[in-house]
Chains A and B, each alone.
Chain A
């Protein structure tokens, strides 16, 4: 149990560091550029930015450190505690990546079906509290769908039927949640190219986060001890 938590924490710390670098070098500059544009357009009336109360540098550092901390939390929870419990149900090869995919789907992809990422300057018409509550609710729905899909896979006979059943269950749970969720309108606009690029940066960032944590977790897998002293293998 504590071995699993330690492994999850190490994966999360490394993955979080990689993701923090990404936020610092790629994400934050894009956000600030989009905000710069929004400020000079008509759409940005009445909203505060990072750096209004804090120095820009401090806010930037907190954002980067906080993003790295999110990676650590993701590692501890998903790749530590959850991994310990669901490990017997995961495939022996690629289980870490399956966990990472579930993390990405729950924490990002499912909430995005209702609240897609939008560049600064395009904002949902609901209040921040309502938006965040909705986001959290959809993340819980996503995690539920992942667990239900796994359960369906193991209850159906055969891999093919299991896979089809798992996808169907996942789609049903997520579809139900999206159907029940209030639809959210967005207002404001940014240049089309910027909006697309921004979405790309956000999606790539989350894939990088979960991918990095999953890769480290996979590498830390306890391999059977080699019986003979094997020649050092070429890094694959």
Chain B
């Protein structure tokens, strides 16, 4: 698939120049927040709402 013969280090370097630290931070924050809400939140309302989904995903927690 790669049209150019670049390496993993090239890709990391390219990502560093195209993605600003702010965007990277926002992206990481968004993903963390989504995962937290969907899987790891203990707040009863949130936790119960995803109850079936978590069970089907095989995450056993209570």
Genuine A/B complex: yes
A157 nearest CB across to chain B (Å):
17
How many A-B residue pairs lie within 8 Å, measured between CB atoms? 148
A43 nearest CB across to chain B (Å):
13
- Cβ of B59 and Cβ of A87 under 8 Å apart? no
1/0 per residue A26-37: CB within 8 Å of B?
Answer: 011011100000
A8 nearest CB across to chain B (Å):
12
Range, interface on chain B: 35 or more
Write out the residue numbers on chain A whose beta carbons fall within 8 Å of the beta carbon of B42.
128-129, 132
B59 nearest CB across to chain A (Å):
6
Write out the residue numbers on chain B whose beta carbons fall within 8 Å of the beta carbon of A54.
45, 48-49
B58 nearest CB across to chain A (Å):
3
Residues 1-54 of B contacting A (Cβ, < 8 Å): 1-3, 5-8, 10-12, 14-15, 18-19, 27, 31, 34-35, 38-40, 42, 44-45, 47-54
A76 nearest CB across to chain B (Å):
7
Write out the residue numbers on chain B whose beta carbons fall within 8 Å of the beta carbon of A63.
49-54, 56
| Bound-state Cα–Cα, A89 to B12, Å | 12
Closest to B60 in A: A118
1/0 per residue A50-67: CB within 8 Å of B?
Answer: 111110001110111011
Write out the residue numbers on chain B whose beta carbons fall within 8 Å of the beta carbon of A201.
56
- Cβ of B58 and Cβ of A112 under 8 Å apart? yes
| Bound-state Cα–Cα, A132 to B42, Å | 10
- Cβ of B51 and Cβ of A49 under 8 Å apart? yes
Check A108 for interface membership: any CB of B closer than 8 A: yes
Most buried by A among B3, B18, B27, B61: B61
The answer to whether A202 and B49 touch (CB under 8 A), given A84-B11, A88-B6, A88-B11, is no
Residues of chain A whose beta carbon lies under 8 Å from any beta carbon of chain B? 1-2, 22-23, 27-28, 30-32, 47-54, 58-60, 62-64, 66-67, 69-70, 73, 76-77, 81, 84-90, 92, 95, 108, 111-112, 115-118, 120, 123-124, 128-129, 131-132, 135-136, 201-203, 205-206, 221-222
Given contacts A30-B56, A53-B48, A63-B56, 15 further A-B contacts (CB under 8 A): A23-B53, A27-B53, A50-B49, A62-B53, A66-B50, A70-B39, A86-B8, A88-B8, A88-B10, A115-B59, A116-B60, A118-B60, A131-B62, A205-B57, A206-B57
